[in-house]
Amino acid sequence: MLVLVAPGQGAQTPGFLTEWLDLPGAADRVAGWSDAIGLDLVHFGTKADADEIRDTSVAQPLLVAAGLLSAAALGDIPGFAPGVVAGHSVGEITAAAFADVLDDTAALTLVRRRGLAMAEAAAVTETGMSALLGGDPEVSVAHLEKLGLTPANVNGAGQIVAAGTMDQLAALSDDKPEGVRKVVPLKVAGAFHTHHMAPAVDKLAEAAKSLTPADPKVTYVSNKDGRAVASGTEVLERLVGQVANPVRWDRCMETFKELGVTALIEVCPGGTLTGLAKRALPGVKTLALKSPADLDAARELVAEHTQA
């Protein structure tokens, strides 16, 4: 069984959309999305620098657009039919589109409002996120709480992401939990999935009222608890609440294992979730879509692992 996953904020790099726009119809599709949400996705995906695409209000719709565009290319592969979909943080909106809970335009409209609301919430206090590599999760979580930080992403494979004020993150860098090899600041502009994002929840809830979600057409696995969610209404409710609550990617991967997943494809800009899967899901074949050149490998993987 194949699982299709979408990465979260921080995976973006300057120019990462450029080669994808050379695919037939891709440039027109992205231009249409840009018009629909009032954001020049083509510019930001091809010409903008790292600081410009670090902006939450830009990064989030750009990531969803890239995921949808690369997934559309996968859709041209004969037999492509993932049995499971999931996304990390903002990638959950991409996954909701994969599962036909939302159409592409609705997903991009929602993520545009999400990015703006979270950017506004992040502007109140200078906050950020840092990844802890290695160590015992229970020891790390206790240490983070002592410093006033939140374990915002529990990613599995020995990785936890801490979120809080810049002063709190500086203290963490100077005082790592026992067993943690390294603390790596992330390319995000706020303490996402913490109480700092509470103001964004109400705005996103208001935006969600205009949407009519459908029930997922494939198994949709939620960040909240790693549970498969069969109701489109519940998927949307979880998308709203997750901006101020921790991501449990570790539990998502446990569910992949329970469901019998044998292969994982991470849409553009792939790499982060593939790396976690390689460590946490031994025996599962993985592929990160970084450019259209990876589509040949995707064809091979689909032929081996997709079930009708």
**37: closest CA among 93, 121, 95, 101?**
93
The verdict on whether omega for the bond into residue 269 sits within 30 degrees of 0, i.e. cis, is yes
C-alpha–C-alpha distance, residues 34 and 84, integer Å: 28
Pairing of strands 228-229, 219-221: antiparallel
Residues 6+ apart with CB under 8 A from 211: 102, 106, 110, 236
- 159-165, strands of its sheet edge to edge: 150-156, 159-165, 127-134, 180-185
Count the residues in the chain: 308
Q: What is the spatial distance between Cα 151 and Cα 143, in angstroms, rounded to a whole number?
A: 10
172 Cβ contact list (under 8 Å, min separation 6)? 130, 144, 147, 149, 162, 183
Beta bridge partners of 151: 162
In whole angstroms, give the CA distance from residue 99 to residue 126. 35
* Region of residue 222 (left: phi > 0; alpha: psi -120 to 50; beta: else): beta
How far apart, in whole angstroms, are the C-alpha atoms of residue 229 and residue 222? 7
What residues are annotated to the active site? 89, 193
Q: Is the dihedral of CA 288, 154, 224, 17 positive or negative?
A: negative
Pairing of strands 127-134, 180-185: antiparallel
